[in-house]
Amino acid sequence: MIKRIVLIFTVIFSMKSYSQDPAFTQSFMVPETINPSFSGFYQTTKAGLLYKNQQWAGFNFNLNSQYLYFDDWFPNLNSGIGVSLMNHQETFTNYSLKQLNVSWAYDVQINYDWHFRPSVTFGFGAKDFGFDNLLFEDQINIFQNIINSNTFDPIALEENTRYVDIGASFLFHNDYHWIGVTLRHLNRPNVSMVSQGNIPLDIFISVHASLELPVLQYNDDSSVYFITNFMKQAKYDRFDLGFQYVFDRFSFALTATTNPIQTSDQSHLITSINPIIGMAWEGFKFGYSYDFNLSKIGGDGGISEFSITYDFLNNKDCFGCPPGFGTN
């Protein structure tokens, strides 16, 4: 009976918590994580990896997310094509999310300065729970002293669910600014873990921008950017905003994560402060960030995030290179 109650609680918890997309603090440094229209953006071949670790202090609870991507530019098609893999794991319930996406972005030159890049994304996702340790009443055979492997319990869960995912995005940009919108899960795939259940995945919306400011411009390799990213999925929302200073091959940024649409008295307007550093070297770009938690949830636990990307063709040594910099 206790395990049945735990199972019901787990189902409810999964419905509320595990229908949210993982979010990265360094999305503006590796923008492929938030907008597939960046596939082939620099008209080169790129690959990268992000690793995010969140330890909730006071709880036996740990979240790990990894994002791996590869994209390339195809001049004959005037298009960029990208492939990405998301892996998200949680230790308390052994929940995991894996999703493989393929994106196609097309470049439209509006005028001499501005470009428009629409994109579409097709993905295949898998959500898994480790329910091997749960035992239902009808599995116990007291007469033969055996445990049956199958159950007919009506609330029994599927250990995994598979789904097809469709998304779209677009991007406006010039050499100094970019503004984009991303929509995920447009087909509302069913992600229920319950047999015969139906839980449509909520549409994820992101509006994001990076705007260069006319300050601290000592030379062509120094710039200050205002960066922002608003995300919303069902009743959950997140609004990141801050500033990035780029000097030659180094990048320094400070952002705040906020919760502008506070849904309860326990909600916090500012949930974390996030310093971010980066360095470019021989085609590589390295990034590290730490989210200092300001909310009461999770105690003093923070979030560490690492990123590494590589440009196979241009070997750009500057961190804030505009599109087309260093191309042949």
Tokens representing 115 are 């470009």
Higher local confidence (pLDDT), 161 or 252 = 252
Handedness of CA 43, 254, 17, 55 (dihedral sign): positive
Structure tokens at 39: 């596939």
Given this model, what pLDDT does residue 98 score?
92
Pair of tokens at residue 175: 């050499």
pLDDT recorded at residue 137:
53
Burial of 289 (0-12, 13-18, 19+ CB in 10 A): buried
Gap between the terminal Cα atoms of the chain: 68
CA 109 to chain centre: 28
Rg (CA), the chain: 22
Using DSSP bridges, classify how beta strands 96-106 and 79-90 pair: parallel, antiparallel or unpaired: antiparallel
Domains in the chain: boundaries: 2-311
Tokens standing for residue 293: 């938690």
pLDDT of residue 241: 95
Q: What is the mean pLDDT of residues 4-32?
A: 65
Q: Model confidence at 302, in pLDDT bands (50, 70, 90)? A: confident
Residue 55 has pLDDT above 70, yes or no: no
pLDDT of residue 26 exceeding 70, the answer is yes
Higher pLDDT, 221 or 36: 36
Identify the band that residue 182 occupies on the pLDDT scale cut at 50, 70 and 90: very high
Highest-confidence range of 98-107, 209-218, 234-243, 259-268, by mean pLDDT? 98-107
Most confident of 57-66, 174-183, 287-296: 174-183
> 182: which strand partners?
169, 206
Q: Inform me whether the pLDDT recorded for 322 exceeds 80.
A: no
pLDDT band at 95 (very low <50, low <70, confident <90, very high): confident
Matching CATH number, 2-311, of 2.40.160.40, 3.30.460.10, 1.10.10.10, 3.40.50.10860: 2.40.160.40
pLDDT of residue 62: 77
Is residue 57's pLDDT more than 80? no
Q: What is the pLDDT of residues 103-155, one digit of tens each?
A: 999 999 999 999 999 999 999 999 887 655 555 555 454 434 445 555 545 45
d(CA 73, CA 304) in angstroms, rounded, equals: 31
Q: How confident is the model at residue 60 (pLDDT cuts 50, 70, 90)?
A: low
